[in-house]
Chains A and B, each alone.
Chain A
């Protein structure tokens, strides 16, 4: 790791100004749980870190009015235990509480978590750090170099949204819940403020897998907003892992429904652990809307989400697992109606 300047920004304006003054190799740091890890792996090599974790007001959790608004540097632990989130939006609270460990949730921010990078082991290993193992090609790390995951140990790789250049899984849980809830991401940068629907925030790998987020250099995630909906109460984040806690998802589903008796009036379904971005499963939603929810229909919806799946050598199990995660999540969510 090379030496770097570490400075604090007291305001979002100051952060953006510092970023511009530092030239190309500056990065913002909030909790640091991802970028510092990537620096140790030799993947991120900033010459200047601008600490945005002290910006006044950027940690606000506002629940009045028509929207929930989470400041970009609000801690994952604090958002998860905000009373409105805990009681009325279990899909949001559970996605946070089933992520990482209590230590990391005390450090990591809800804005930074949106930008968490993949756990693909070929991406993480091979950048030349002394603590990594082997040297692997990765189009995300070194554009155009190739992808060692194709035909490699691909058990944890994506089956949806993949390309010939990249099969790396989007790692987050919180972004999956936000995708189901149609959240909006507010960023602030040299050109002012932009509000980006989460559906437009994550980029499919295509032939440019190094471009992951719809965010420009110098832009800072200042807030996340979620429009309030009664579907929040009838929701869940269902996550299946190799061990029961403190692991990334093999498959997960964020589900929120509005029920009319046994019939599903509206459904929001998003998938994690199986796709290259937080993955809205519209095909699954169409299967259940307007029908009585039965275990059979729920599983049919799950399968509908994977008709386009392209598994590799060792991850075909994710197709059936993912379908069943959706099915179980639908039943869990529907049972939460008051």
Chain B
């Protein structure tokens, strides 16, 4: 079985994320941190105004050392300090699944994971799945099956979907639906999501 569960290699050159970051930076240069060199995670100096905790962890295979506000969530750390905006904030209360990332290989809701908790641990986000220009089979399956409409929940859906397959839970439609029930899709793309996971379950095992 090929291991597509967690890819720690980083891409080089221009990525979709870089392009989006640059175009956003034109209008909000001081707010949007540019991440031109994907080999190195450069934390943005934070507007932290509470007591901080010094933590060191890996995100998508890159080491990050940073002082985080004691109140901060992993979600805000990823988005606001590390410019990893692929992970989405939906409800911010653990009810929608849009913020799902992998912590030590297991899906968690990053909005309810306090940032200080990831000290010494490994985080994988949607940005960490592809190998260079080669999409993860689950990402490709979502495209192939029209498994999204607006796309906002998609990064969280894909992170859960990868775990659904790697944990052996993609055995039948009922099991997939149960495993994926923590990821809400407001557009109602569930039929496509189910089909995508069923497809990827075969290619990931191939």
Specify which of B70, B107, B183 is in contact with A5 (CB 8 Å cutoff).
B70
Residues of A within 8 A of B51 (CB): 3-6
Give the CA-CA distance A40 to B108 in the complex, in Å.
18
CA distance A100 to B181 in the complex (A): 9
Q: Which one of A53, A106, A245 has the highest number of Cβ atoms from chain B below 10 Å of its Cβ?
A: A106
Contact B53 A40 (CB under 8 A): no
Is B160 part of the contact surface with A, judged by Cβ < 8 Å?
yes
Give the size category of B's interface with A.
Answer: 20 to 34
Q: For B107, list chain A residues within 8 Å (CB).
A: 102-103, 106
Interface residues of A (CB under 8 A from B): 1-6, 8, 29, 32-33, 36-37, 39-40, 49, 51, 53, 77, 100-104, 106-107, 131, 244-246
Q: Is the CB of A107 within 8 A of B113?
A: yes
* A169→B99 CA distance, assembly (Å): 28
- Are A3 and B109 in contact (CB-based, < 8 A)? no
**Contact across chains for B94 and A37 when beta carbons are under 8 A apart:** yes
Report if A51-B50 is in contact (Cβ < 8 Å); known contacts: A33-B94, A103-B100.
no
Asked if A103 meets B160 with Cβ closer than 8 Å, knowing A5-B51, A37-B93, the reply is yes
Whole-angstrom CA separation of A39 from B103 in the bound complex: 22
B116 touches A104 (CB 8 A): no
* B60 CB contacts on chain A under 8 angstroms: none
Binary interface encoding of chain B residues 73-91 relative to chain A, with 1 for a CB under 8 A from any of its CBs, else 0 = 1000000000000000000
A104 and B181 form a contact (CB under 8 A): no
Q: Do A2 and B179 have beta carbons less than 8 Å apart?
A: no
Alpha-carbon distance between A106 and B100 when the two chains are bound, in angstroms: 11
User: Which residues on the A side are within 8 Å of B119 (C-beta)?
Assistant: 8
Query: In the complex, which of the residues B93, B117, B160, B178 contacts A32, with contact meaning CB atoms closer than 8 Å?
Result: B117
Closest to B103 in A: A106
Q: Which residues of the other chain, A, contact B183 by a CB distance below 8 angstroms?
A: 101
Are B71 and A1 neighbours in the complex by a CB distance under 8 Å? Answer: yes
Contact A101:B182 (CB < 8 A) given known A3-B50, A6-B53, A106-B108: yes
Residue of chain A at shortest CB distance from B107? A103
Given A36-B73, A103-B100, A104-B109, verify A4-B182 contact (CB < 8 Å): no
Query: How far is the CB of A105 from the nearest CB of chain B, in Å?
Result: 9
State A131–B111 Cα separation when bound (angstroms).
14
